[in-house]
Structure 1
Amino acid sequence: MKTMLVAMVLAALVPPAALAQQRTERGERRTAAETHRNRAVELLKRGDLRAALPHVEEAIRLDPNDAVSHDNLGVILAETGRVADAEAHFRKAVALNPASAEAHYHLGLAQDRLGRTSDAIAGFEEALRLDADLTPARYLLSGVLRKQGDTEGAIRLLRDVIEREPTFAEARYNLGLLLQSRDPAAAITSLRTAHELQPNDPSAALALGIAYAEKPDLKAAVETLGAAVRLDPANPDAHYNLGLALAQAGRLSDAAKALGDALRLRPDEARARRALGVALQRSGDAKAAARELRVAVERDPDDPEAHNMLGVVLLTLGAVDEALMHLQRAIEANPKLIKAHRTLAQAYYRLGKRDQAMRSARQAEALRDEEARVGRAMILTQSAAQHLERGDVDNALGQLRKAVSMSPNAADTHLLLGRAIRKSGGDPQDAAAALQRAIELDPSNAQAHYEAALLLEDQGQDAQALEELRLAASVAPSFTPARLRLAEALLDAGGSREAARHARAVLLWAPDDAAARRLLDAALRADSDAVR
């Protein structure tokens, strides 16, 4: 054994001249690698991926620890569809140079394309921690959050991007789409600016026209949707939405023409066929309307609106039995379609079936009353939320219990009820039941998972609380209270490295958060102590 060890030591000894030669050779290899790397970068800037590839591969062969070349090879592979291979090289680039924001950004991009959302979010967040001005990472993170369901986070990021790059039309377009159901006026402003920045982009014109129609500003809608059609005459969606706007404006013959154009481009489009039938019915041509609506329900047998409208038209034509069948199909597809129940009552009455007519009429009224109760419950829930903010827990509890009894399937009401019970010091089991119901109704409700975690912590169930915090952070990465509490819980549980990641993420969203800064410092100290 001793002889073998001596032989190994002697073999490792290299004469000074040979060492000098090795150093020279390594230097030459590095110089050659750098030459290939620089040439590859030039070619990549010109978009010539094919020509850049051999230079990148040669650079890596000459210097396997060249982080930039691994990153560049990842870019080429990703752009040519080899995303899994690209991810491996991005990982290598990050391992060789953890301080490279671009490598983390590219890694996040590859992971997003591979459907690994959580990993992609972590990659983009790390890229932004290293370089807060890396706008592409901020923009792509907004897209990942939108897919994850974290709309608030996506909106915040898009606004940040636009503040940094006011002429970024695509960011304004996506912001407008996200705002449509939340703030229609702001959505129109964002989409209008996107359209002004790129007046030849049919997508921006189409989205802006739809937003105008929903406002409704029908003159602007028709004008803008007309522009969308002129910019992209082969897009059936542009013709369809122009037809809807024209019908809304009472220009029924023009609407029928636009909807006909949509159907010529996409003959199997059931919704366009239904809209054409409605336009023809409104213009007084019941036979033509029935013809189009029959095709609509054939194309989409589960469309309650088309069945209902066909039932209405058939009643006017005296085809009561056929109308009855389609109205029943409408109710099967959507049992809460009040107008179908009302029209069905008319059909039964026309057939002399008074008992069935009365039942259908009563069902319509019951649904109308239920709709009104849901509306009142929403008002009570909003009022209770204001009481909770002011600390008036008793009034909030009373309103929330009443709201739940009126509308038992509203996730936000159950969430607020659970929070109010916890704040009042009430029965933890009642609070847990309310929060569990909120989660059942809306599993992606980060606030419900967070409140459930706090309740579990109150009861000393730290492991279960940690899981709820992880879920909250996963479904809404921008929800900083959950991520801050998750960082605290992880640090308490000995997970200092993961705690540091979440504390850093909080600082990405809230740079001045002193608690997050303290947590990050504590996590880094704990991680350093663990290494020692």
Structure 2
Amino acid sequence: LGYLSISSSGSSRPNSGADPKDRIVEAETYHLAVALASSSKLEQSNRLLERLRVKLPEVTAILVSLGLNQQKMGKHAEAAEHLRAALRSDPGNVEAHYNLAVSWLALNQVDKAINELRMVLGIEPYHSRASYLLGTVWMRGKDYVRARECFNHMLEIAPDDYAAHYHLGVLATIEEKWQEGKSHLLSALKTDPESPEACNALGSVYFGQGSLNEARDAFLKAIRFEPNFAWAHYNLGLVLQQQKENKEAARHFRLALLADGQFQKARDALDQLERSSK
């Protein structure tokens, strides 16, 4: 299938009965399907890919493209089936393993996702997206040792990686390692100076250290970059409450609730503040 620019794991011997003109048409159809998918015309793309799959059932790129389209449509069970079929044809396909992990996570199949991500890193140790995704999985499971290993591995690949520094900063903050957290978050902000998440996390470090003015400035900066950032409003409210500026604290608790009506911590803080002011 040289004309198609995509490979099958089947026999490498040329199909003597295949008309080269047919292969050119199939290649053009595949590239049109990819272009349609990139323009968010997923149903049209899928129709073309399904037609190709009937003719070329073991061509990995077609199966992977179908899986990616199903992912974009939120149909992760169907995506997983296509990606597993791709891996039966090509067990070493990194893209299929990685995207299968994404679908398993969407389906809450965490152990299966971890296995796929480990497969990716076994084949391609410096696959930064797999390291990042695996790190976030460990982090959600509160396995901070393994999460830190993944994010540190990302820094071996790219020392200025924003996501790695940000998550290492958050991990250090969770463990109250304030100086380590501050160092990583400042590094993250060097890469992305307008990150509201990094500003908010840095504010949490300053708050943990008792540096209220620095914390206040960091939370205000986060809000400037993202005015509807509920956590930044809530955290700023806590700082203002410590600084005895209760009226302003209440205003930011209300803004947190305006941004997220289900934010229970902000509601509790506001209720407590209003009760104490009576």
Common fold: TM-score over 0.5: yes
Measure how far apart 1:275 and its partner are.
Answer: 5.6
What is aligned with 1:142? 135
What is aligned with 1:409? none
What is aligned with 1:467? none
Deviations 1:375-422 (A, max 9, x none): xxxxxxxxxxxxxxxxxxxxxxxxxxxxxxxxxxxxxxxxxxxxxxxx
Deviations 1:484-524 (A, max 9, x none): xxxxxxxxxxxxxxxxxxxxxxxxxxxxxxxxxxxxxxxxx
Q: Name which one, 1 or 2, has greater alpha-carbon Rg.
A: 1
For the Cα contact (< 8 Å) 1:209–1:221, is it kept in 2? yes
State the Cα RMSD in Å. 2.5
What is aligned with 2:31? 38
Q: Given residue 249 of structure 2, which amino acid in structure 1 is its aligned partner?
A: A
Gap change, CA 1:265 and 1:212, over 3 Å in 2: closer
Separation in 2, partners of 1:219, 1:103: 49
Within the alignment, does 1:260 sit opposite 2:254 as a pair? Answer: no
Pick from 161, 164, 181 the counterpart of residue 168 of structure 1. 161
Deviations 1:139-188 (A, max 9, x none): 11112222333211111101111331334323322222122133221112
SS in 2 for 1:111: helix
Separation in 2, partners of 1:117, 1:133: 22
What is aligned with 2:215? 221
What is aligned with 2:7? none
- The structure in which a higher percent of residues are helix is 1
Within the alignment, does 1:289 sit opposite 2:276 as a pair? Answer: yes
Gap change, CA 1:48 and 1:259, over 3 Å in 2: same
SS in 2 for 1:191: helix
For the Cα contact (< 8 Å) 2:94–2:120, is it kept in 1? yes
Within the alignment, does 1:104 sit opposite 2:82 as a pair? Answer: no
Separation in 2, partners of 1:245, 1:275: 15
After TM superposition, the score normalised by the length of structure 2 is 0.81
* Number of residue pairs matched by the alignment: 256
Separation in 2, partners of 1:275, 1:208: 26
SS in 2 for 1:24: coil
What is aligned with 2:273? 276
Higher relative contact order (CA 8 A, sep 6+): 2
What is aligned with 1:119? 112
For the Cα contact (< 8 Å) 1:141–1:154, is it kept in 2? yes
Once the two structures are aligned, what percentage of the paired residues are identical? Answer: 25
Q: Given residue 273 of structure 1, which amino acid in structure 2 is its aligned partner?
A: L
Within the alignment, does 1:63 sit opposite 2:39 as a pair? Answer: no
Q: What are the equivalent positions in structure 2 for 1:76-475 lying under 5 Å apart?
A: 76-182=69-175, 183-248=177-242, 250=243, 252-253=244-245, 255-263=246-254, 266=257, 269-274=266-271, 276-277=273-274, 289=276, 291=278
Measure how far apart 1:226 and its partner are.
Answer: 1.2
Measure how far apart 1:42 and its partner are.
Answer: 4.6
Separation in 1, partners of 2:164, 2:77: 28
Separation in 2, partners of 1:264, 1:241: 11
Q: Given residue 137 of structure 1, which amino acid in structure 2 is its aligned partner?
A: A
Measure how far apart 1:75 and its partner are.
Answer: 0.6
For the Cα contact (< 8 Å) 1:205–1:227, is it kept in 2? yes
SS in 2 for 1:180: helix
Separation in 2, partners of 1:32, 1:24: 16
Q: Given residue 101 of structure 1, which amino acid in structure 2 is its aligned partner?
A: V
Which residues of structure 1 form unaligned runs of 5+?
1-21, 278-287, 292-532
SS in 2 for 1:266: helix
Residue range with higher mean Cα deviation, 153-162 or 184-193? 184-193
After TM superposition, the score normalised by the length of structure 1 is 0.45
Separation in 2, partners of 1:121, 1:29: 40
Q: Given residue 70 of structure 1, which amino acid in structure 2 is its aligned partner?
A: L
For the Cα contact (< 8 Å) 1:151–1:178, is it kept in 2? yes
What is aligned with 1:75? 68
SS in 1 for 2:231: helix
Separation in 1, partners of 2:142, 2:41: 35
Separation in 2, partners of 1:58, 1:171: 42
Q: Given residue 200 of structure 2, which amino acid in structure 1 is its aligned partner?
A: L
Gap change, CA 1:200 and 1:138, over 3 Å in 2: same
Separation in 1, partners of 2:93, 2:130: 13
Separation in 2, partners of 1:40, 1:185: 50
Measure how far apart 1:79 and its partner are.
Answer: 1.2
Gap change, CA 1:135 and 1:26, over 3 Å in 2: farther
Measure how far apart 1:213 and its partner are.
Answer: 0.5
Measure how far apart 1:115 and its partner are.
Answer: 0.9
Separation in 2, partners of 1:120, 1:265: 34
Measure how far apart 1:114 and its partner are.
Answer: 0.9
Measure how far apart 1:26 and its partner are.
Answer: 6.2
Separation in 1, partners of 2:149, 2:237: 34
Q: Given residue 214 of structure 2, which amino acid in structure 1 is its aligned partner?
A: A
Which residues of structure 2 form unaligned runs of 5+?
1-14, 259-263
Separation in 2, partners of 1:206, 1:107: 33
Q: What are the equivalent positions in structure 2 for 1:496-515 lying under 5 Å apart?
A: none
What is aligned with 2:4? none
For the Cα contact (< 8 Å) 2:195–2:225, is it kept in 1? yes
